[in-house]
């Protein structure tokens, strides 16, 4: 994607999602790898997640150098069971990686409370729940992927928001992760032109030039506007409303 289009798209998503910054990447797995990589994880470090997810979730943890620790799911919604997270925490646990599935949102109130009590980072895998809304027990409402430290999105053609291949990272308000470092990692670890400070990769989103800024904005707007996922854990049915490929 041309830099100017990517920048405008990221600025638009940052404002729409009310986050610190957004980073467009080439797919959802890259969106998971970059923030995990930024944590400088060691081989003995552990990241708690669910086994009921696409393999990219576990692969990202392994690629980042840590060990995935699986916690079982709820029988009613197939989302990670927060009541089982705490018993899986050890002195090696560094993060919790909940996976929002089927347009639903995990019990983020419980997960965030556990994370705060144990000083853990929360990385949300939001590949299947773009624009889903979560209403907390306290009454506030936020979009999935904007509650933890970072949110990781997929724009694969099977997802609610599609660029056929692509993804996005949201670095959320008060995040404990370094958004600038994550951005650098997605661009070969560069901090300034050809000044490579971190181990990185080319995770930049590259799409045909004919897909312009206006099309991206329209797609985001339609998905967010059309989404009917509301309430605790996003219990309502997802309805995009309009085909995002039609304009």
- How high is the pLDDT of residue 193? 87
Residues 112 and 86 sit within 8 Å (Cβ to Cβ): no
Query: What residues have CB less than 8 Å from 247, skipping those under 6 apart?
Result: 215, 218
Contacts of residue 128, Cβ cutoff 8 Å, sequence gap at least 6: 100, 101, 102, 103, 154, 159, 160
Confidence at residue 47, expressed as pLDDT on a 0 to 100 scale:
98
- pLDDT tens, per residue, the chain with 247 residues: 567 778 888 898 899 899 999 999 999 999 999 999 999 999 999 999 999 999 999 999 999 999 999 999 999 999 999 999 999 999 999 999 999 999 899 999 999 999 999 999 999 999 988 888 999 999 999 999 999 999 999 987 667 676 667 889 999 999 999 999 999 999 999 998 899 999 899 998 875 444 545 555 665 665 555 554 444 444 333 333 343 333 3
As beta bridge partners, residue 190 has 196
Q: What is the pLDDT of residues 92-146, one digit of tens each?
A: 999 999 999 998 999 999 999 999 999 999 999 999 888 889 999 999 999 999 9
Cβ 9 vs Cβ 157: under 8 Å: no
pLDDT digits (tens, 9 = 90+) for 13-25: 899 899 999 999 9
pTM (2 d.p.): 0.83
Under 8 Å CB-to-CB from 149, ≥6 apart: which residues?
35, 121, 122, 123, 171, 172, 175, 176, 177
Taking phi first (over 0 means left), then psi (-120 to 50 degrees means alpha), and beta for anything else, what does residue 211 get? beta
Mode of pairing for the β-strands spanning 21-25 and 167-171: antiparallel
- Residue 176 to residue 156: CA distance in whole angstroms: 28
């Amino acid at each position: 994607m041309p830099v100017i289009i990517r920048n405008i798209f990221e600025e638009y998503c940052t404002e729409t999602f009310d986050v610190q910054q957004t980073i467009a990447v080439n797919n959802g797995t890259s969106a998971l790898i970059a923030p995990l990589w930024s944590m400088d994880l060691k081989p003995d470090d552990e990241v708690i997640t669910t086994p009921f997810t696409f393999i990219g979730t576990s692969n990202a943890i392994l690629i980042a150098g840590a060990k995935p620790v699986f916690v079982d799911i709820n029988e009613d919604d197939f989302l990670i069971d927060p009541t089982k997270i705490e018993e899986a925490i050890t002195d090696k646990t560094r993060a919790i990686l909940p996976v929002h599935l089927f347009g639903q949102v995990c019990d983020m109130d419980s997960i965030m409370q556990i994370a705060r009590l144990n000083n853990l980072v929360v990385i949300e895998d939001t590949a299947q729940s773009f624009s889903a809304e979560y209403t907390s027990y306290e009454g506030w409402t936020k979009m999935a992927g904007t509650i933890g430290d970072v949110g990781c999105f997929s724009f694969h053609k099977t997802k609610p928001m599609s660029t056929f291949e692509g993804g996005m990272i949201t670095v959320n308000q008060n995040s404990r992760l370094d958004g600038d470092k994550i951005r650098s990692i997605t661009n070969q670890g560069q901090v300034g032109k050809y000044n490579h400070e971190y181990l990185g990769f080319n995770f930049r989103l590259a799409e045909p030039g004919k897909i312009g800024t206006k099309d991206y904005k329209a797609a985001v707007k339609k998905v967010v506007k059309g989404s009917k996922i509301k309430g605790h854990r996003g219990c309502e049915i997802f309805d995009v409303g309009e085909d995002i490929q039609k304009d």
